[in-house]
């Protein structure tokens, strides 16, 4: 009999965009929002109870391009408590010993992560074995674009940052107005991320922003 294939892992994009869908400027975020960064860290790190497996270390995965990886201050790389996956055309030999899994494409990364994914039939393996719970796509533009073209992408966690920020990199789709995407209600949003996301606009310093969640079938 042929081996049973595991279902494809659903992908969740997490992104903050300014007006005109700007996401970056000169290789970095144009804004510094402490609360939003905390939200990003908590949501991408939190493994929901149904995915926890006794005998395994279950972590979420964060998938990013090489430039996004390099934009993270070195002292914070790899992002703690998560399986870091970096996409690079120079993946072979580039990432050894740097605390991340390096892959040549999103398709390759998906194959690797599916092999590490939580499964109901998993038995206890070697001590410290890591299993992957949720998978988050965290940038940059080309990686977001590739993920949006995959049927496994079911959800976008969008932080809408109000104002003009003179960005030079832009999110590849206006999902708020794109057919097939639906903004979910606050309760469903909170239930999925596992915390009390504030309703409507919030303010940090002089910057206003809003948390949203979109899904597609």
- Does 5 have pLDDT greater than 50? no
Q: How confident is the model at residue 92 (pLDDT cuts 50, 70, 90)?
A: low
Q: What is the mean pLDDT of residues 118-147?
A: 83
Q: What is the pTM of this model?
A: 0.92
- Does 96 have pLDDT greater than 70? no
Tens digit of pLDDT for each residue in 7-34? 579 999 999 999 999 999 998 899 999 9
Please state which of the ranges 52-66, 75-89, 112-126, 185-199 shows the lowest mean pLDDT: 112-126
Task: Tell me the CA distances in angstroms from 160 to 42, 76, 94, 200, one per residue in order.
Answer: 18, 25, 34, 10
Cα–Cα dist 133/50, whole Å:
9
- Does 1 have pLDDT greater than 90? no
Cα–Cα dist 103/89, whole Å:
8
The architecture (CATH level 2) of 11-215 comes to 3-Layer(aba) Sandwich (3.40)
Q: What is the mean pLDDT of residues 142-160?
A: 97
Annotated catalytic residues are: 29, 36
Domain boundaries, the chain: 11-215
């Amino acid at each position: 009999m042929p081996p049973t294939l595991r279902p494809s892992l659903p992908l969740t994009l997490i992104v903050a965009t300014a007006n005109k869908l700007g996401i970056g400027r000169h290789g970095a975020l144009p804004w510094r929002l402490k609360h939003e960064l905390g939200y990003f860290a908590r949501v991408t790190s939190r493994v929901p109870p149904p995915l926890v497996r006794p005998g395994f270390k279950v972590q979420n995965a964060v998938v990013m391009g090489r430039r996004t990886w390099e934009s993270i201050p070195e002292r914070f790389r790899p992002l703690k408590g998560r399986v870091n996956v970096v996409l690079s055309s120079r993946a072979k030999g580039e990432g050894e010993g740097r605390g991340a899994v390096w892959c040549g494409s999103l398709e390759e990364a998906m194959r690797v992560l599916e092999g590490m994914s939580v499964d109901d039939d998993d038995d206890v393996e070697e001590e410290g074995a890591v299993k992957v719970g949720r998978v988050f796509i965290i940038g940059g533009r080309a990686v977001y674009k590739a993920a949006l073209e995959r049927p496994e992408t079911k959800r976008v966690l969008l932080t809408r940052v109000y104002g003009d920020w003179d960005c030079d990199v832009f999110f590849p789709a206006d999902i708020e107005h794109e057919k097939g995407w639906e903004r979910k209600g606050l309760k469903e949003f909170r239930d999925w991320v596992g915390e009390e996301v504030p309703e409507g606009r919030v303010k940090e310093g002089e910057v206003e922003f809003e948390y949203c969640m979109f899904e597609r079938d």
